[in-house]
Amino acid sequence: MSAERLSMRKLREVVRLYLDQKLSGRAIGRSIGSSPSTVSDYLARIKVAQLSWPLAPELDDAALTALLYPNEGEPKFSRPEPDWAAVHLELRRKHVTKRLLWEEYKGAQPDGFQYSQFCQHYAAWAGKLSVSMRQVHLAGEKMFTDFSGDGIEVVDPKTGECRTAKLFVAVLGGSSLTFVEPVLSEDLASWVACHVAALEYFGGSSQIWVPDNLKSGITSPDRYEPEENPTYAELAQHYGAAVIPARVRRPKDKAKVEAAVLVAERWIIAALRHHRFFSMDELRQAIRPLQEKLNDRPMRHVRKSRRQLFVELEKAALRPLPAQPYELAYWKRPTLHIDYHVEYDGHFYSAPYQLVGQRLELRATTTTVEIFAGSRRVASHRRSSAKGQHTTDPAHMPKAHRSYAEWTPQRLVAWAQQTGPSTAAMVEEILKRRVHPQQGFRACLGLVSLNKRYSPERVEAACARALAVRACSYKSVAAILKNGLDRQLLIEEREVALPMHENVRGPSYYH
C-alpha cells in the first residue's frame, strides 16, 4: 500500500462519494484530504470489483478489502520505488531538492509515483530513522560540538590520583564524520584546542558551528540573542565560520551531536572500560584506532560509512583552512587607570593617557598584549611575566611625564656625582629603599629642581647632613636647605671644634 494508506473509514467514504455522489477523483481527494493519485488507484479497484451503492450489509471490512485486493491481504501498489537511502544522501548535496530527484526518478520510471506520493513515501522511510539521521543537513553546512557525559579514568602514576577525561566530540552534519578528543577540563583553552584539532582532522571548516551552550563557548545562552565568548567568536572568525548555538531546551537542534556522543560512548568509552591509563597521550593512542573504526563502519540505513559519505559528499564542500592555525587569545574588558596602565596577569601595560577612565578591550596571547578602544587598536606590547612591573610606551604618556621616562638609575647616579659624593650617595639610598627603583625616580628628580634654586655646594652639604641623620628623602634635603641647616655644623663636627682640657667634659660624657 502507499505511504498514504487510507483507513477503512476513509475507504468507505471514497466508495460513497464515488458511487453515490458521483464526484471526481480530485474532488474526493480534497474531501478526504488525500492526493488525487492515491484516490485514482482506489477508484480503479472499485471499478474492477464492480461495487454498487449502497454496499451490501455483509460486506464488512475484511470482505471489502478482499474484493478490492483479491490477491493480497493488504493493498499494495506495484509501482517501482526509488532507492530511498540514495535519495536521502542526495538531498544533503547543495541545491538538490525533492522535486529534482523526483523528476530524475520519473524519467527513469515513467510508471512510478507522482510527486506527492514520492514525498509521502520518502517521509515514511525517513520516519524510521533516528532523529539525527532524519534531519537533512547540507554537505559542508554545519559542524556540531559537545562534550560527553561520561568519561575515562586517567591515573597519575606518581600520586595515584584518578581524574576523569571527558570526550570532546565534533561531527559534520552532511556525512556524520566524527572526531573525538579526550580532555581533562572543559575550560576555554581545551575548548579552543579541540576545535583546532577537529578542523585539522576534517581538513576544512563548515559554514556554521553549532555548539551546546557551554560557558567556554557561549557566555550568555539567551534564546534569541546568545552572547558568544569573545575568544570563541574570534576563533570562528579566523576559520570563516558562523556560530549558531543550539537553543536552550531544544534537543533537536543538537540531535546530530547527541547521537554522535552516544555512539562515541558506546564504541570508545565502553570498549576501553577494562583498560587503565596513566597519561593522556596513552589514552589518545588508544582512542585513535577506535575513532577510525567508527568512521569506517557502514551505517545501517544508508549502507555507507561516514568516511565514504565524507569523501563523496562533504570533503569538497568544506571551506579551506587558513595558512596558520588559530593562536589562543584571552580577552578582558579593563578600565584604563589614572596612571594610564591596565593590568593583565600581574603586569601593567600602558595605553594612551587620553583614554583614562574608559572601558577598553584587552587581547592577550602567549607573546603579545593588545589593547583596543572599540575596534581600533590603541596599544601593542610584548607580553611580560614580571609581576608588579610596568611596560610603558613613552608615546602614551602626557608630555609632563615623558621627561621622567628618559631617566634611569644609572643616569640619576651619574648626574648626582657631578654635584658631589654625598648627593650621589643620597640618590643611591633613595633608590635602594624602594621595592622598585622606578618608584624613587620622582624623589631623585626632585633633587634636580633643588639644584636650580640652590648652589651645588649647598645641595651637597644638605645631602651630607641628611645622610648623617639618616633622613634619606627629598623632603628632608629640601627642609634642610629651606631652614639653612646645611650651613650649620653637625654635633660631631662641633665636638671636634671644642677646646679640649681636663675641665671640659664634652657631650660624649653624658651618653
Compute the distance between CA of residue 202 and CA of residue 180 in angstroms, rounded to an integer: 12
- CB distance 467 to 432 below 8 Å: no
User: Is residue 3 a part of any domain in this protein?
Assistant: no
Same domain, 106 and 156: no
Alpha-carbon torsion, ordered 223, 224, 228, 233, to 10 deg? 130
Cell numbers at 15, concatenated: 466508495
pLDDT at 186: 87
Residue type at 387? K
Residue type at 63? A
Exposure string (b/e) for 114-141, b if CB count within 10 Å is 16 or more?
Answer: bebbbbbbbeebbeebeebbbeebbbbb
pLDDT at 319: 93
CA 173 to chain centre: 19
User: Is residue 273 a part of any domain in this protein?
Assistant: yes
User: Is residue 503 a part of any domain in this protein?
Assistant: no
pLDDT at 126: 72
Cell numbers at 32, concatenated: 478526504
Using DSSP's 3-state secondary structure scheme, residue 300 falls into coil
Question: For 172-208, how does the pLDDT look when each residue is reduced to its tens digit (9 = 90+)?
Answer: 988 889 999 999 988 888 999 999 999 999 999 998 8
Measured between its terminal Cα atoms, the distance across the chain in Å is 123
Query: Nearest-CA neighbor of 336 among 346, 347, 318, 350?
Result: 350
Same domain, 42 and 92: no
Helix (H) or strand (E) holding 198: helix 188-202
Q: Identify the domain boundary among 283, 317, 351.
A: 317
pLDDT at 510: 39
DSSP for residue 371: E
Question: What secondary structure does DSSP assign to 325-361, as a single string?
Answer: PPPP-EEE-PBPPTTSEEEETTEEEE--GGGTT-B-E
User: Is residue 280 a part of any domain in this protein?
Assistant: yes
Instruction: List for the chain the helix, strand, coil content (%; round to 5).
Output: 45, 15, 40
pLDDT at 136: 60
Q: Could you say which residues of the chain have pLDDT below 50?
A: 1-3, 73-77, 131-134, 220-226, 493-500, 504-511
Compute the distance between CA of residue 179 and CA of residue 104 in angstroms, rounded to an integer: 35
Q: CA angle, 162 as apex, 161 and 166 as ends, to 5°?
A: 145
- CB distance 231 to 329 below 8 Å: yes
Cell numbers at 421, concatenated: 659624593
Same domain, 188 and 306: yes
Q: Which residue has the cell 629640601?
A: 478
Whole-number percent of the chain with pLDDT over 90: 25
Compute the distance between CA of residue 379 and CA of residue 442 in angstroms, rounded to an integer: 25
Domain carrying residue 476 = 407-495
User: Is residue 372 a part of any domain in this protein?
Assistant: yes
Same domain, 376 and 233: no
Same domain, 419 and 481: yes
Question: For 413-426, how does the pLDDT look when each residue is reduced to its tens digit (9 = 90+)?
Answer: 888 888 889 999 99
Predicted TM-score (pTM) of this structure: 0.53
pLDDT at 86: 77
Same domain, 355 and 420: no
Same domain, 265 and 363: no
User: Is residue 13 a part of any domain in this protein?
Assistant: yes
Using DSSP's 3-state secondary structure scheme, residue 85 falls into helix
- CATH number of the domain where residue 269 is located: 3.30.420.10
Query: Nearest-CA neighbor of 445 among 406, 480, 476?
Result: 406
Q: Identify the domain boundary among 356, 379, 399.
A: 399
Same domain, 166 and 214: yes
Same domain, 203 and 116: no
pLDDT at 397: 80
Same domain, 434 and 307: no
Same domain, 195 and 338: no
Strand pairing of 341-344 and 347-350?
A: antiparallel
User: Is residue 28 a part of any domain in this protein?
Assistant: yes
Same domain, 413 and 465: yes
User: Is residue 219 a part of any domain in this protein?
Assistant: yes
Report the number of distinct structural domains present in the chain: 5
Using DSSP's 3-state secondary structure scheme, residue 172 falls into strand
